[in-house]
Structure 1
Amino acid sequence: MGASVHRLTRLDLTVNIRFPGTRANGIQVAAMAEALAATGLNVDVVVPRRWPWKGVDPYEHYGVARTFGVQRLASLDTIDMLPARAQRVPFLVQSVTFGLRALARAAVTRDAGILLRDHYTLQVLTNGLRRADLARVSAEVHDLPAPGVRRQRVAAALALLPAVVTINHALKHDLVSEGLDPGRVLVAPDGVSLARFASLPSRGDARAAAGLPLDTPRLVYAGQLYRWKGVDTLVAAMAHVPRAELLVVGGQGDDLERVRALAERLAPGRVRFTGNVPPPAVPALLATADVIALPNSAGREISARYTSPLKLFEAMASGRALVASDLSSLREVLRDGENALLVPPDDAQALGAALSRLLQDQALAERLAVRARDDVSGRDWRARARQVAEFLREHLEVAA
């Protein structure tokens, strides 16, 4: 590497998402943008103009400092004009048009490094930029297509880049198996804003603030309600956890209605739903819990092997005991009987038994919670950003 390796002072986080939005990808991007800016980089989040978030302040929504910029690129977005079953073609059109706009920006901002997040923009840039210009482009990988032609195309595009970041070891393993140089792949699991958990209210105060009964055993799930998140199994597990109530934090649209209907059928009157809440409000809701559940399903590879859930690290930081699915993705962080109880995925009876065990054994719950909080203490977003920034400075070559 030449001296230009050390000239990285600007970084575009180029991501095809709604920003702000309700999904974890926006939380991660905002947190990393703030944290990367704290390393001394001049950071811009580069996103498409997307309906319906016009006018919503992303800094206030995500609870982050105004230390990075937000650049919005035009794209042809008709996705939400059609029902979900007809959105595939509009999604492809929006993705490609955003990728072309990102390519045009990359052609005129040659003094900035680029960190990509989605496969379509990756392939547009690797096909549209000169090989010399790709020396300043990197990518962060959160999942991969199923084995086959699409995965091979993504891997071939990633192989053209000098630096790739993955959120867990399984992703790195699969990319190396596709031919990537392991020395150019950094594993950096997701993180947590530890400052938000530094002075949580007591369990009783948190419940009072949320309008929840003070003496009812309480389970909490926080996150989206996609089927692979396993919340259907958690609702079914309520039959094996007598007297307890479940608070579901998050969810929207058809997924929320599906889980709400399931709860009315399987656990009537025992499941409460908040819908989506702003990210800064989540810690106080986690503080209402006796036990937090992370019931990921084994049915999708993104869940079984590739995920690095933000809500996992938030649960660990909350000081509450955790029950999670025994999946390789989660075992990269969790150890059964040490910082969590792990149960077979998609097994409502086993999940219910573990939740009941922790509700009844407060000493065990406290021991697991203390160890989890200790284990997550080094996973602040700023620590992750320092690791990623050092890696990018070492591998990217940016024009002066």
Structure 2
Amino acid sequence: MTAPTLPGRSGVPRIGYTGHLYTGRGIDFILELASLLPSFVHLIGGTPEDRARWEEPCRLSNVYFHGHRPPGAVRAYLPLFDVVLAPYQQKVYTAGGIAETGRWASLMKVFEYMADGRAMIVSDLPVLREVLQDRVNCLLRPPADTHAWLDAINELMTDGPCGGRWATEPQ
């Protein structure tokens, strides 16, 4: 499989998100962050309906919605990102808003990010702390604190030794 190409200027940081675009997955939060960043933000995933819900009103020139990709194709995008985001919110809903699953959030996205060695920022929620440790395998930040996430992005982007990747050993 050939590597995908991402739009945007070279030399500008690329921030990625992969997964569904359901309510509670933090897409509104990602768009809020993107409005404050010079970085390019790439969202991989979402049904056509969910994608339209977010993309049509989005007027940010640094945000790209790539739509659904087969699971095997998503992995090819991860090395293209400098930082990846998992902004789970307090309440996460399944497709169609049928059930709220925040207490049992699936960590599949986080495991995929970890398997690729991506520098990641993740919401600081109890269910996620069962696997993640701040400054060991990610940066944990409050799910609704825009400034804390911006600080984390800036920290990762200016962390020369990691070159946009989180160190494999605690510092």
TM-score (norm 1): 0.38
Equivalence for 1:196: none
Deviates more, 1:229-238 or 1:212-221: 212-221
Partner residue in 2 for 1:228:
24
Partner of residue 119, structure 2: 321
Task: Note the residue ranges of structure 2 that are not aligned, 5 or more in a row.
Answer: 93-99
What is the Cα deviation at residue 235 of structure 1? Answer: 1.0
- In the other structure, the counterpart of 2:101 is 302
The equivalent residue for 1:341 is 139
Q: Specify the SS of the correspondent of 1:228.
A: coil
Q: For 2:51 and 2:134, how far apart are their aligned partners in 1?
A: 30
Q: Does 1:246 align with 2:38?
A: no
Give the 5 Å matches for 1:359-378: 359-363=157-161, 368-371=166-169
Question: What displacement does 1:349 show?
Answer: 2.5
Q: Distance in 2 between matches of 1:318 and 1:270?
A: 24
CA deviation vs aligned residue, 1:263-287 (integer Å, no higher than 9, x gap)? 32xxx21011111001111111011
1:317-343 deviation per Cα after TM superposition (whole angstroms, max 9, x unaligned) = 112200000011111111011110011
Q: What is the total number of aligned residue pairs between the two structures?
A: 162
Q: Which residue of 1 aligns with 2:96?
A: none
Please tell me whether Structure 1 or Structure 2 has the larger radius of gyration of its CA atoms.
1
Structure with greater contact order relative to length (CA < 8 Å, sep ≥ 6): 2
SS of structure 2 residue aligned to 1:368: coil
Tell me, yes or no, if structure 1 residue 284 matches structure 2 residue 52: no
- Closer, same or farther: CA 262–346 of 1 in aligned 2, 3 Å: farther
Give 5+ residue unaligned stretches, structure 1.
1-200, 373-400
Q: CA deviation at 1:360?
A: 1.6
Partner of 2:58: 263
Contact preservation (8 Å) 2:29, 2:144: yes
Q: Which amino acid aligns with 1:259?
A: W
Q: How far apart in 1 are the matches of 2:70 and 2:107?
A: 17
In structure 2, C-alpha distance between the alignment counterparts of 1:258 and 1:370, rounded to whole Å: 37
Paired with 1:354 and 1:239, the residues of 2 have a C-alpha distance of 16
Partner amino acid, structure 2, of 1:222: T
In the alignment, is residue 218 of structure 1 matched against residue 19 of structure 2?
no
- 1:99-121, Cα deviation, whole Å (9 max, x unpaired): xxxxxxxxxxxxxxxxxxxxxxx
Distance 1:289 1:317 in 2: 14
CA contact (8 A) 1:316 1:369 kept: no
Separation in 2, partners of 1:367, 1:235? 22
Deviations 1:376-397 (A, max 9, x none): xxxxxxxxxxxxxxxxxxxxxx
SS in structure 2 at match of 1:258: helix
SS of equivalent to 2:66? strand
Name the % identity: 35
Alpha-carbon spacing, 1:354–1:286, altered in 2? closer, same or farther (3 Å): same
Task: Kindly state the Cα deviation for residue 246 of structure 1 after the two structures are TM-superposed.
Answer: 0.5
Indicate how the Cα distance of structure 1 residues 371 and 313 shifts in structure 2: closer, same or farther if over 3 A, else same.
Answer: farther
